[in-house]
């Protein structure tokens, strides 16, 4: 039985769909109403908030904390200064992905690592010989993802400090509402302007109440996982368990993937200036030298081909409102050259999109392939698709910083009170 998150007393009354799923042992909303599209559009047009407490979270401290993380992950985090956040992944000795997440440099030799799967056992094994202390804070820390073009405006009314110029993938401490101490990172999983709010689980309800005291005037809606799935596909973000499987649970070699095969090669610091090794380095060196068999790409499925396929059955073209998650063969002529792992109809881009693994020689952007599609009575047919570079959607506002800081309502009130006294 999934456990309630610290926000459950607030999310449960709003969930009119009664649609929930188990996310890392917590009950998570799929969609708040009968259709998730309003939540999707809120992220792309105004803003929405998602409970991301189920992320696994670990605090790592000690004299060797930076060296340990540089050994554990494919990214050399030792050069990161306090206040930085970095996306990264980690591998087994064969250079195959175990998980991906973020690391936040909290300062004073402390770091926070997030993951999609429980990692305490693996972290403890890899920590042998390092002077580090690893603490699982997954249940004691609550988190909300505030995403969308008006997210910054909401924070201007929510935070006592001016956070408008917080840069992309940066972290800071702040006070939400009147007295809710917490942390803010400019991060997210939607590919849009976004932030994540981190507080002690005991203050979760207070944070939710403070957020919804100011958010609705900016178009704020609560959001579930169905909308998030569409958004992350548009952004080209990989999902563990869907687009790749952790090597720890794979049964055969063909199920395992490397960072290079998943489009995460940019996170791999293959050579370190001081020669510090990391888990999987030797295998990744060999792969970098010989090249990868597969490449992770986007597919844009031809709408004309979809129309023609449905017309052959005397049906109007129809696509599922929700994103799909299943391995779907991809062909060139009669040769299967890969498979798609997830896809969605994009209301914003007006296109049928998919994420796929293709053999490298067939993965050049603009190449034509065919993807299987089922229309009626389980009859599988093929429709044309074109290989596309990822991401499909990457707005400038995601990284932009406003030219001039906007004073918060709280700051204005404080200044007015000070002037009066």
Residues 227 and 356 occupy one common structural domain: no
Of residues 418 and 87, which shows the higher confidence score? 87
Q: What is the CATH classification number for the domain harbouring 365?
A: 2.40.30.110
Residues 209 and 312 occupy one common structural domain: no
Residues 352 and 226 occupy one common structural domain: no
pLDDT of residue 379: 77
Q: Is the pLDDT of residue 418 over 90?
A: no
**Distance in angstroms (rounded) separating the CA atoms of residues 59 and 275:** 26
Tokens (6 digits) for 238 = 């990989």
Residues 303 and 192 occupy one common structural domain: no
Which residues constitute the domain of residue 146? 8-55+139-234
pLDDT of residue 411: 55
Residues 302 and 214 occupy one common structural domain: no
Q: Is 397 helix (H, G, I), strand (E, B) or coil?
A: helix
**Distance in angstroms (rounded) separating the CA atoms of residues 49 and 165:** 20
Q: How confident is the model at residue 374 (pLDDT cuts 50, 70, 90)?
A: confident
Which range has the worst mean pLDDT, 119-133, 237-251, 376-390?
376-390
User: pLDDT by residue (tens digit) across 38-49?
Assistant: 999 999 999 999
In a domain, 278, yes or no: no
Residues 301 and 386 occupy one common structural domain: yes
**Which of these three, 234, 255, 271, is where a domain ends?**
234
**Which of these three, 183, 206, 234, is where a domain ends?**
234
Closest CA to 302 of 319, 326, 327, 322: 319
**Which of these three, 234, 256, 272, is where a domain ends?**
234
Residues 219 and 305 occupy one common structural domain: no
Residues 311 and 209 occupy one common structural domain: no
pLDDT of residue 414: 53
pLDDT of residue 408: 52
Residues 225 and 297 occupy one common structural domain: no
In a domain, 115, yes or no: no
What's the total number of domains in the chain? 2
Of residues 320 and 4, which shows the higher confidence score? 4
Q: Give Cα 268 to chain centroid, integer Å.
A: 18
Q: How confident is the model at residue 339 (pLDDT cuts 50, 70, 90)?
A: very high
Neighbours of 159 (CB within 10 A): 26
Residues 222 and 323 occupy one common structural domain: no
Per the prediction, the chain carries an average pLDDT of 95
Residues 46 and 160 occupy one common structural domain: yes
User: pLDDT by residue (tens digit) across 99-156?
Assistant: 999 999 999 999 999 999 999 999 999 999 999 999 999 999 999 999 999 999 999 9
pLDDT of residue 205: 99
pLDDT of residue 376: 77
pLDDT of residue 39: 99
pLDDT of residue 417: 55
């Amino acid at each position: 039985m999934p456990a309630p998150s610290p926000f459950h007393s607030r999310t449960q009354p709003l969930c009119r769909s009664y649609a929930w799923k188990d996310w890392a042992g917590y009950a998570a909303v799929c969609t708040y109403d009968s259709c998730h599209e309003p939540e999707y559009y809120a992220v792309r047009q105004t803003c929405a908030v998602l409970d991301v407490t189920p992320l696994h979270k670990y605090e790592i401290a000690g004299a060797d904390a930076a060296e340990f993380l540089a050994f554990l992950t494919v990214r050399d985090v030792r050069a990161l200064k306090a206040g930085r956040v970095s996306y990264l992944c980690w591998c087994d000795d064969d250079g195959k992905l175990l998980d991906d997440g973020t690391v936040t440099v909290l300062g004073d030799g402390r770091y926070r690592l997030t993951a999609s799967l429980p990692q305490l056992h693996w972290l403890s094994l890899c920590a042998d010989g390092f002077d580090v202390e690893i603490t699982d804070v997954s249940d004691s820390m609550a988190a909300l993802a505030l995403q969308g073009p008006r997210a910054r405006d909401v924070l201007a009314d929510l935070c006592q400090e001016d956070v408008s110029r917080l840069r992309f993938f940066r972290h800071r401490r702040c006070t939400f509402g009147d007295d809710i101490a917490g942390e803010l990172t400019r991060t997210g999983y939607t590919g849009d302007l976004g932030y994540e709010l981190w507080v002690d689980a005991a203050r979760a309800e207070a944070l939710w109440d403070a957020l919804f005291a100011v958010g609705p005037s900016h178009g704020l809606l609560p959001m579930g996982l169905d909308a998030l799935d569409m958004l992350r596909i548009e952004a080209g973000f990989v999902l563990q368990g869907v687009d790749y499987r952790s090597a720890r649970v794979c049964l055969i070699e063909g199920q395992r993937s490397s960072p290079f095969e998943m489009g995460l090669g940019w996170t791999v610091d293959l050579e370190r200036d001081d020669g510090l090794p990391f888990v999987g380095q030797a295998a990744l060196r060999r792969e970098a030298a010989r090249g990868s068999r597969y490449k992770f790409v986007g597919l844009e499925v031809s709408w004309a081909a979809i129309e023609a396929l449905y017309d052959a059955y005397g049906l109007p073209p129809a696509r599922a409102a929700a994103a799909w998650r299943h391995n779907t063969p991809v062909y060139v002529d009669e040769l299967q050259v890969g498979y798609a792992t997830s896809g969605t109809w994009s209301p914003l881009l007006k296109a049928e999109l998919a994420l796929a693994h293709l053999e490298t020689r067939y993965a050049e952007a603009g190449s034509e392939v065919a993807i299987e599609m089922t229309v009626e009575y389980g009859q599988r047919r093929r429709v044309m698709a074109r290989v596309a570079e990822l991401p499909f959607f990457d707005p400038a506002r995601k990284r932009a910083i406003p030219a001039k800081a906007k004073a918060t309502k709280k700051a204005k009130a404080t200044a007015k009170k000070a002037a009066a006294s």
